[in-house]
Structure 1
Amino acid sequence: MTDSTTPQETAALAEGPVLPEEIDDPAVGVPSTGTPADGERTARRARRRRAAVRWGAAVVVCALAGTGTALAVTAPERTDLPGLATPKDGRYTFPALVLPQLPSGQSVPRESKGRHAADLRTLLLPVPVEAGGSLVPAAAPSAPAPGAPAPSASGSASPSAPGSTSASPAGTSSASPVAPVGPTPAGRVSCEAITADWKDPGSLRALLLQNACRDAAVREWTAADGTRTQIRLLSFGSQAEAWPMFDKLRRTGEPKDSSGGVQTGDTQGWDTVFGVDLATREVPGAPPATRIAFLSAGNVTGVITMTNPKGVPTAAFRQVVTLQSDLLA
């Protein structure tokens, strides 16, 4: 059989058949054959590009919307947002707590076996705004001048020495506090002054003498809601000497004006402060009209008494006790 293939056809057969994919590939540079399959692939690529653009635009819009929402929520105060305002639960507004400066050469209680070297008055919780206090931390009281009158046993604050600063809220004088709601005396008192507030004062006085109570300080205020708060701190020579007073009060302590008896308070769920022992007592009621907390922090025993005929708010009581514990820890 005679081979009628021309030289051009023989060369084409040697190179092999040309596939449509190779012709349609943009990298080859060969013009498309224009078949229906090529048109379908081109349309598919166009649809994919449009979908990618739409999804990219959607992501950008969502990111911008989320950023705007976050700024709108976080920029204003929480209490200004509808539905997020915290209802008033009785807690007070205190100035920032400031630890007192220690005398030269003295260390903190954790490093001195629980002994507090700071002036006892500087360890008292400041007066809240709701009782005429200020958000500016009060200056530390100065030491009494030599020959200054000794504090009386009546429980009232001793007069300040000439030129000394008052322990009343910062920016005010002890004679005329700003917007007074109730008396807010603060200062040194005699150790025996605490016995006037409790039944069986004789046994308490004996403990004070036996363990040589060295110093005492008191702060009182009455808030706008009618809750009266009294904080007393008693300083001893060591933790061993301070403990009997704390133990006596937490077991049998009962205010002299309580007629319905006193029961042990519940401290479950409290945020207790490390280094401070806590016990509470209260006059039966719902809520109790009298709540008492006893604190033992090294060589200092603290007594916090809060009274209100309408009931002492639980939140305010816990707040005062916790903050006072922080200053003693």
Structure 2
Amino acid sequence: MKQEFTDEGLRQIAGRAWTMPDGSRTRVYLLRFSAPDFADDPDRCGSTMNVNGVNRIEDDSDWRKAKFAQPNPALHGKVDVFAEAAPVGDEEVRVGCIQSGDVQAAVFQSRRGGVASVPFHQTVILQSQLLG
């Protein structure tokens, strides 16, 4: 993986994580590349990516419904949202992938018993706005 990032022009990585009182854990990773073309890699952050402890992720149907109901949310860059496919273990995981210029962001949220859609979607939208 280190060689792959070197070949793809990875310049900087930043990450931040926090836990909310309800037990929701959020992790945000920002990867900055030497050019926008390197940041737009669906294998790195997309439906085919490997997430530790998750069998498979799929498009988040709640995100698709919300986006259809409000076709012009205040998003900046390319935003894709995924949810853990059934069967879900004790802790559900949702992933938001944002590509804005030469930065690719990955927002992970997990919670025992399930991740609430609205707070997760708000986190992804706010992160996209911060990158825009």
Find the aligned partners of 1:283 and 1:250 in 2 and give their Cα distance. 12
**Cα distance change on mapping 1:286 and 1:272 into 2, 3 Å:** farther
Percent sequence identity over matched residues? 22
2:81 alignment counterpart? 280
Q: C-alpha displacement at 1:284, in angstroms?
A: 2.5
Residues of 2 paired with 1:263 and 1:298: CA distance? 25
Contact 1:295/1:302 (CA < 8 Å) preserved in 2? yes
1:272 and 1:280 mapped to 2: Cα distance? 15
Tell me how many residue pairs correspond in the alignment: 122
CA deviations on 1:54-76 (whole Å, 9 max, x unpaired) are xxxxxxxxxxxxxxxxxxxxxxx
Q: What does residue range 39-78 of structure 1 map to in structure 2 within 5 Å?
A: none
Identify which of structures 1 and 2 has the higher relative contact order when contacts are C-alpha pairs closer than 8 Å and 6+ apart. 2
* More helix per residue: 1
Distance of 1:272 and 1:283 partners within structure 2: 25
Q: Which secondary structure does the structure 2 equivalent of 1:215 belong to? A: strand
Is 1:230 aligned to 2:27, yes or no? yes
**Structure with greater strand percent:** 2
Structure 2 vs 1, CA of residues 273 and 286 (structure 1 numbering), >3 Å: closer, same or farther?
A: farther
TM-score by length of 2: 0.82
Q: Which residue of 1 aligns with 2:70?
A: none
**CA distance, structure 2, for counterparts of residue 312 and residue 286 of structure 1:** 14
- The answer as to 2:49 corresponding to 1:253 is yes
**Partner-residue secondary structure (3-state), 2:56:** coil
Deviation, structure 1 residue 264: 2.1
Q: Is 2:59 the partner of 1:264?
A: yes
Q: CA deviation at 1:262?
A: 1.8
Aligned to 2:99: 296
Q: Which runs of no fewer than 5 residues in structure 2 stay unpaired?
A: 68-72
Q: Is the 8 A contact 2:74 2:129 kept in 1?
A: no
Contact 1:229 1:306 in 2 (8 A): yes
1:46-125 to 2 correspondences below 5 Å: none
Q: In the alignment, which residue of structure 1 is the partner of 2:121?
A: 318
Q: TM-score normalized by structure 1? A: 0.35
Letter in 2 for 1:273: L
Question: In 2, distance between residues paired with 1:226 and 1:273?
Answer: 27
Picking from 192, 196, 211, the partner of 2:8 is 211
> What code does the residue aligned with 1:256 have?
N
Contact 1:294-1:304 at 8 Å conserved across structures? yes
- Which secondary structure state, in structure 2, belongs to the residue aligned with residue 312 of structure 1? coil
Contact 2:19 2:26 in 1 (8 A): yes
